[in-house]
């Protein structure tokens, strides 16, 4: 009888984050060539933005900068972050994440923030690996 190794849940979650972030990077590479540099710059700064400003303010900033342009890097990265956090916190897909987090307890808000930072770190790593964006400059 062979012994099966079980993968700890934390490792499974981290692998899922990485796979989802990689899928987002591939989406940008295949479908939004003109937004790669700006997306990369945003991805490099996203974890620090969430950490220093909070998830709610960061989402509001991204939405404001992206405006009505669906294919803008700000809207794309906000959408990627939103999809991941909603999937992990079991938020109804019809709900706007920003509206949802504002209505949650501080514990749930912290959990959403922690999850968003962990996901954003993967986006940053992959954007850096692709050498997209700049470490400085305007957002």
What domains, with CATH codes, occur in the chain? Answer: 12-129 (1.10.520.30)
pTM for this prediction: 0.87
**Category of 90 on φ-ψ map: left (φ > 0), alpha (ψ -120 to 50) or beta:** left
Q: How far apart are CA 54 and CA 101, in angstroms?
A: 11
Query: What pLDDT, in 10s, does the model give residues 18-55?
Result: 999 999 999 999 999 889 999 999 999 999 999 999 99
Query: What pLDDT, in 10s, does the model give residues 52-90?
Result: 999 999 999 999 999 888 789 999 999 999 999 999 999
Q: How far apart are CA 35 and CA 49, in angstroms?
A: 19
């Amino acid at each position: 009888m062979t012994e099966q190794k079980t993968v700890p849940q934390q490792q499974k979650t981290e692998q899922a984050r990485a796979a989802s972030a990689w899928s987002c990077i591939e989406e940008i590479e295949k479908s939004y060539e003109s937004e790669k540099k700006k997306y990369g710059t945003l991805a490099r700064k996203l974890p620090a933005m969430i950490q220093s400003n909070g998830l709610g303010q960061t989402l509001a900033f991204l939405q404001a900068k992206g405006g009505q342009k669906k294919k803008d890097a700000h809207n794309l990265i906000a959408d990627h972050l939103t999809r991941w956090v909603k999937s992990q916190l079991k938020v109804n897909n019809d709900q706007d994440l920003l509206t949802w987090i504002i209505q949650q307890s501080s514990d749930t808000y912290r959990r959403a923030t922690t999850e968003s930072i962990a996901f954003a770190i993967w986006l940053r790593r992959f954007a850096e690996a692709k050498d997209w964006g700049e470490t400085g400059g305007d957002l």
